[in-house]
């Protein structure tokens, strides 16, 4: 029986070999060749499948490499964002620390200088409402009126449909840059005029609609503060700073109410009793003298009776102001109550006390002339002096000076 073979190169060669086989073996040989051809066809199909799979893997590999490249770029951008946020957070934390270190509003200029260095910004200004803070900050501190402050904040450029309450953008866009930044700053750094700035109102957290000030930052780099950049940290810092400023102001206000005489504004009896012991203790440690002068206005009751308490109060204020202008920088003047005043003089002996008593009599006489009280009923002052003895309390010292004052008053009346 004859088995047809596919006409291929392999079968052609097999047919040539078949002629040399013994009769009866050709059939087996042809079956063997068919098996080989079938195996070859199977291998060819597997090869084609493998080639297709390799191509798929190659294409997938290209896609994976492209994806990896994109992810590497994204990772680099995320790292840049993380580094920027980390730096911003470190700056924010340093700023918060400085804000929380504020204990007295007199220290605010120094805190702001350190804040500018911590933020790495060449221009930083914190304006405070005159009505709220002028009595507590240094004399040269920028304190515009509440009306001017609100008007300047309302005039800041606003992006259309923007909900931001802050200005972030070019310094040149400000209607009056000199309101928010000292003009001398632009003279020292002219490139600031072409830079960018951040300006935010400081709100009273107890009355959110009320503005108590503004924080303004400027940089010569036009791209540092732009509308596209987030300012969450800065805006939150403004909330914290406003709260800290209010807390310090309220604390100082309460301290003044506690330590100051309500009428004259000079230290009161409580302040004297609180601060005098440390002054006397220091004098004892140094072995230096200390004197206390007890001053009592003569015929002050007659002034009240004749002219009324309103004028009497004005006289007391004038006397307190005049005495405060005559004492030394390290002396302590206090009103004990009524028409009684004391002056505690550290590092002063009998001679210095006598000179001070003469000054105080002269300033009361000047008040009497200014208030037209030199005649009847008249106004003068009796002064008693007591020198501090080591171990003596402030109350004992006041009592001894009071006794000396009555002796002086009796001598004046007797004269």
- pLDDT (tens digit, 9 = 90+) per residue, 362-410? 999 999 999 888 776 789 999 999 999 999 999 999 999 999 999 888 8
CATH assignment of the domain containing 184: 3.30.450.40
Report if residue 69 sits inside a domain. Answer: no
> Same domain for 331 and 200?
no
Domain stops at, among 258, 275, 290: 258
Domain stops at, among 258, 279, 313: 258
> Same domain for 144 and 202?
yes
At 237 the pLDDT is 93
Report if residue 134 sits inside a domain. Answer: yes
Report if residue 250 sits inside a domain. Answer: yes
pLDDT tens profile 328-368 = 999 999 999 999 999 999 999 999 999 999 999 999 999 99
> Same domain for 249 and 269?
no
> Same domain for 406 and 348?
yes
> Same domain for 176 and 242?
yes
> Same domain for 123 and 252?
yes
The H-assigned helical ranges of 224-335 are 232-259, 269-286, 300-307, 309-326
Report if residue 353 sits inside a domain. Answer: yes
Instruction: Indicate the number of domains in the chain.
Output: 2
pTM greater than 0.85: no
At 6 the pLDDT is 53
Report whether 202 contacts 216 (CB < 8 A): no
Report if residue 48 sits inside a domain. Answer: no
With 0-12 CB in 10 A as exposed, 13-18 as middle and 19+ as buried, what is 285?
exposed
> Same domain for 138 and 171?
yes
Report whether 315 contacts 305 (CB < 8 A): no
Domain stops at, among 225, 242, 258: 258
> Same domain for 211 and 108?
yes
Q: Which two tokens stand for residue 251?
A: 């604390």
At 161 the pLDDT is 53
Report if residue 354 sits inside a domain. Answer: yes
Residue with the larger pLDDT of the pair 376 and 76? 76
Report if residue 229 sits inside a domain. Answer: yes
DSSP state of 297: E
pLDDT tens profile 300-318 = 999 998 889 999 999 999 9
> Same domain for 301 and 313?
yes
Report whether 203 contacts 172 (CB < 8 A): no
> Same domain for 285 and 208?
no
Closest of 19, 191, 31, 214 to residue 129, by C-alpha: 214
Q: Please count the other Cβ atoms lying within 10 Å of the Cβ belonging to residue 259.
A: 16
Provide the domain limits for residue 190. 99-258
Report whether 127 contacts 144 (CB < 8 A): yes
Q: What's the average model confidence in pLDDT over 158-169? A: 73
Beta bridge partners of 340: 296, 337
> Same domain for 104 and 250?
yes
Per-residue buried b or exposed e for 291-310, using 16+ beta carbons within 10 Å of the residue's own CB: bbbbbbbbbbeebbeebeee
> Same domain for 248 and 297?
no
């Amino acid at each position: 029986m004859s088995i047809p073979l596919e006409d291929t190169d392999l079968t052609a060669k097999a047919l040539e070999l078949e002629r040399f086989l013994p009769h009866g073996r050709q059939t087996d040989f042809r079956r063997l060749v068919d098996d080989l051809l079938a195996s070859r066809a199977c291998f060819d199909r597997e090869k084609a499948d493998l080639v297709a799979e390799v191509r798929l893997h190659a294409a997938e590999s290209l896609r994976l490499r492209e994806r990896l490249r994109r992810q590497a770029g994204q990772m680099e951008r995320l790292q840049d964002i993380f580094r920027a946020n980390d730096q911003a957070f470190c700056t924010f934390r340093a700023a918060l620390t400085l804000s929380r270190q504020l204990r007295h509003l007199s220290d605010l200029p120094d805190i702001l200088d350190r804040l500018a260095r911590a933020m790495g910004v060449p221009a930083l200004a914190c304006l405070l409402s005159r009505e709220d803070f002028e009595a507590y900050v240094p004399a040269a501190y920028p304190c515009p009126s509440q009306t001017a402050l609100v008007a300047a904040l309302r005039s800041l450029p606003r992006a259309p449909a923007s909900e931001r309450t802050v200005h972030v953008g070019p310094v040149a866009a400000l209607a009056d840059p000199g309101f928010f930044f000292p003009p001398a700053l632009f003279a020292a750094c002219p490139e600031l005029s072409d830079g960018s700035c951040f300006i935010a109102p400081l709100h009273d957290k107890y009355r959110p609609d009320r503005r108590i000030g503004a924080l303004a930052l400027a940089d010569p780099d036009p791209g540092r503060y732009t509308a596209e950049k987030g300012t969450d940290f800065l805006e939150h810092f403004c909330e914290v700073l406003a709260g800290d400023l209010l807390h310090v102001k309220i604390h100082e206000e309460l301290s003044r109410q506690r330590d100051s005489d309500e009428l004259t504004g000079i230290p009161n009896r409580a302040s004297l009793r609180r601060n005098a012991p440390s002054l006397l203790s220091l004098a004892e440690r140094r072995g230096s003298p200390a004197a206390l002068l007890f001053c009592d206005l003569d015929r002050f009751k007659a002034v009240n009776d004749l002219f009324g308490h309103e004028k009497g109060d004005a006289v007391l204020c004038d006397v307190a102001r005049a005495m405060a202008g005559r004492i030394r920088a390290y002396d302590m003047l206090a009103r004990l109550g009524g028409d009684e005043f004391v002056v505690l003089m550290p590092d002063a002996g009998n001679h210095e006390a006598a000179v001070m008593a003469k000054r105080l009599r002269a300033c009361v006489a000047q008040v009497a002339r200014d208030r037209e009280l030199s005649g009847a009923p008249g106004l003068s002052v009796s002064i008693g002096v007591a020198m501090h003895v080591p171990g003596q309390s402030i109350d004992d010292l006041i009592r001894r000076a009071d006794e000396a004052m009555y002796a002086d008053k009796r001598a004046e009346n007797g004269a």
